[in-house]
Amino acid sequence: MHQPILKNKKFKQRRTKRPSASSPSASDGLKIICLGGLEEIGRNMVIFEYENDIIIVDMGLQFPEEDMPGIDYIIPNTAYLRGKEKNVRGVIITHGHYDHIGAIPHLMAKIGNPVIYTAKLTAGMIKKRQEEFTNSPKLNIQIVDPDTDKINLGRFEIEFFRVNHNIPDSFAAVIRTPLGTVVHTGDFKFDHHPLHDKPADLNRIARIGGEKVLALLSDSTDADWPGHQISEHDVEEELDKIFEKAPGRILLATFASLLNRVQQVITLAEKFNRKIIIEGRSMKTNVEIAHQLGYLNIKPGTVIEKNEFNKFPDNRLLALCTGAQGEHNAVLMRIANKEHRFIEIRKNDTVVFSSSVVPGNERTVQILKDNLYRQGAQVVHYKMLDVHAGGHAKQEDLTLMIRLLNPEYFIPVYGYHYQLILHAGLAEKVGIPSKNIFVADNGQIIEFTKDGKREGEVAGKLTSVKVPTHYVMVDGLGVGDVGNVVLRDRQIMSKDGMFVIIVPVDSHSKKLTAEPDIISRGFIYMKEADVLINEVKKRVVKIVDKHISGKYTDRGSIRGQIRDEIGQYLFQKTERRPMILPVVMEV
């Protein structure tokens, strides 16, 4: 396996021997394959493959959809890399959000546990998450400085440039290959007046563009929004006004990983002499990591413990918490439901939702807001004031990135399909030929090869070949063991419930020893459905007698007959299809 070469005074260079390109998997082209992130928000993971060398950018999770009951999250499918583990030279992680790091504990062992290259804060967050997975391998993480470092991974040479996002240490990857330079932006925005962060180096990005970029993979998450993303400076000005006017306690909810916002809130709390309590496991963990690594500045005495919270006047208190998306067990929801251990809503409280609503969460967030209003709180959210700046470039900034890098080929990534299409339209407007814009699906191979007709030129193609990308679902300790059949069963039970029919049969006479017992969960309320239940029992007795009066067959045959006939009867009476579970017990 190749050892990395990092070109910086901190790192020693190593000579390595590259595997022969004559192996069956070798190819004279560059392949780019997105295993996720092209048809959803999340599950971001991109493979770059040249001959026997593979690098990976990001390894994230996707949160479950509404029709996935019980699923914790979804991770990329790495079946394509099976048998190629020794070819994986390294993993590049662009920043510390879970949709970019969340799959690491589950996938690293499957791909040979290669070295992870990332910035310092991201490394700290990856290490902390890994502690929760005791059976996962110990990770080999190499910290890189996005401003100076270069790494050699086989035939790939990678350097970086910083981008603005809503978490520090975010960067883009500049991947130099034998066929040309490919730039992957990661999640980004342009903020010319960032707080607690460095602005993107537009001159450096333009210099890279001047060196001829073969292809650009660019973040499409906010491609459907016109204009520019607002600056974090604007957000701080609005929050400052809220802190100044709030008559009582402030409860501010945001994403646990939105560390730039956390620093803003801490700074304002110190300015207005408010004591902070941090609530939410993920929030506490991220604040602890960022503070230890020097990414958060907190004056001694600013953060207090829970037993001190009610010792201060209301106008000197701030609760920084999770739950702005209406998550069931998150802190803000528990407060609104009066289930929190020591915080209850008071009439002078100001609740700030310092995040936008993730698609799919609109209803839960609205119910949460209503509940807070009912209890007398003043609620502030991003539609009322600029209390949140997204972390993703809107159309004007997306266009600027394309202009600065001026790629020959353009590949929109990280978004829903319609967002990729809109982003592709922006690229075409600034002069990228439509034939050079590839809007791919998950798993669809994009290939670049030497152009046989034009010497020294490279031709790109969106092939029709796809690698496996079906969902790998994580449910508790199970990874990938919940497939379509199990998920379909859960969907049926969540929609129409479950109907259990227990049939006791004498093991010798093969006759019923008692009437069938019925259990209903989520289908009907049995105390109010006596007629239906009694009719079901009669039909079950007839089915069993029919089998016994003839030649007794196995229990599986009886169960199948009960399932079919009772299922048809229940649908006729209720127009619902519960999951029917016949249990034939020989006693």
Just list the catalytic residues: 219, 392
d(CA 301, CA 270): 10
Q: Which of 230, 229, 167, 175 is nearest to 411 (CA)?
A: 175
End-to-end Cα distance, the chain? 62
Burial class (CB in 10 A: 0-12, 13-18, 19+), 291: middle
3-state secondary structure 56-95: EECCCCECCCCCCCCCCEEECCCHHHCCCHHHEEEEECCC
Q: Tokens 């993920």 belong to which residue?
A: 282
Residue 398 host element (H or E): helix 395-405
* DSSP single-letter state for residue 440: P
β-partners of residue 157 are 152, 176
Residue 116 is which amino acid? I
Burial class (CB in 10 A: 0-12, 13-18, 19+), 542: exposed
Residue 568 host element (H or E): helix 555-574
Q: How many helices (DSSP H) and strands (DSSP E) are in the chain?
A: 14, 26
User: What is the sign of the dihedral through the CA atoms of 137, 162, 230 and 226?
Assistant: negative
Distance of CA 452 to the CA centre of its chain: 41
- Contacts with 523 (C-beta within 8 Å, 6 or more apart), sequence order: 496, 497, 498, 499, 574, 576, 578
- The pair of three-digit structure tokens given for residue 415, joined into one six-digit string: 């978004």
Q: Tokens 């669809």 belong to which residue?
A: 444
d(CA 576, CA 524): 10
Q: Which of 272, 239, 279 is nearest to 380 (CA)?
A: 239
Per-residue burial over 366-380, b if 16 or more Cβ lie within 10 Å, else e, is eebbebbeeeebbbb
Q: Which of 145, 179, 25, 156 is nearest to 90 (CA)?
A: 156
Are 406 and 209 spatial neighbours (Cβ–Cβ below 8 Å)?
yes
Residue 495 host element (H or E): helix 484-496
Q: How far is residue 563 from each of residues 501, 526, 545, 582, measured CA to CA in Å?
A: 9, 19, 16, 7
Give the total residue count for the chain.
587
